[in-house]
Homo-oligomer: A and B are copies of this chain.
């Protein structure tokens, strides 16, 4: 039945459906990957952690709704973060109150100072992703699944795009970028090989002046880099995720 069959569709004949956006907002602090969570203030799941989100307004499109919520929750605007749709979740019973379909997004921000927590007094925190992954924290609704999918998307995109740079400030050292990969993938990468790939990729350009000064304690001063072009376009990997033999299209 094509989308055209409105001749017999009356919205009042069906239970209402609400559409929301939910967001997995990732950042890195203290070399650890974190996700922004908010505490639920009412039932269902009162007191539990959840992904931030909200209703899509009647006059805004989905991306705009997500960008608005991102701004409200983090103070970060869309131009300073990576934001992309992840997918929609519409199990009939994901919310016991009514039919709610959520369009999930994921975002990457440079280190957030402190979550602003939205307009009300809701409690928000940058929670270690490892704590959600090891089930120390269980999320409300189907947010465990959404976060799991967002993590897999992030980890996958990290390999094929230069998106990792969105965790960094506008200028950064190659080691800082490498440490993004190490935090997200929970692994270590060879500094020499990584730098070779960064230099070869064409997605980064070296600053003409000077070396990194910020945060340096000891060791050789590093050169400073910035990004060039569209970071989400596929290209050659800067690094590859380790896969055991059995995982090869297993």
Binding site for B on A (CB under 8 A): 1-7, 9, 11-12, 14-20, 22, 38, 40-42, 45, 50-56, 58-62, 65, 69, 72, 85, 87-92, 95, 97-103, 118-120, 122, 141, 156, 161-162, 201-203, 229-231, 233-236, 247-250
Question: Mind listing 12 A-B residue pairs with CB under 8 Å?
Answer: A1-B53, A1-B72, A1-B118, A3-B20, A3-B50, A4-B40, A5-B54, A17-B56, A17-B58, A85-B87, A203-B249, A229-B249
Residue of B nearest to A39 (CB): B2
Most buried by B among A15, A60, A250: A250
Contact A61:B14 (CB < 8 A) given known A19-B101, A249-B201: no
Smallest distance from the beta carbon of A56 to chain B beta carbons, Å? Answer: 7
Cβ B92 vs Cβ A55 within 8 A: no
Most buried by B among A2, A61, A92: A2
Cβ A2 vs Cβ B118 within 8 A: yes
Residue of B nearest to A227 (CB): B249
Cβ A90 vs Cβ B103 within 8 A: yes
Cβ A59 vs Cβ B97 within 8 A: no
Hey, which chain B residues are within 8 Å of A20, CB to CB? 3
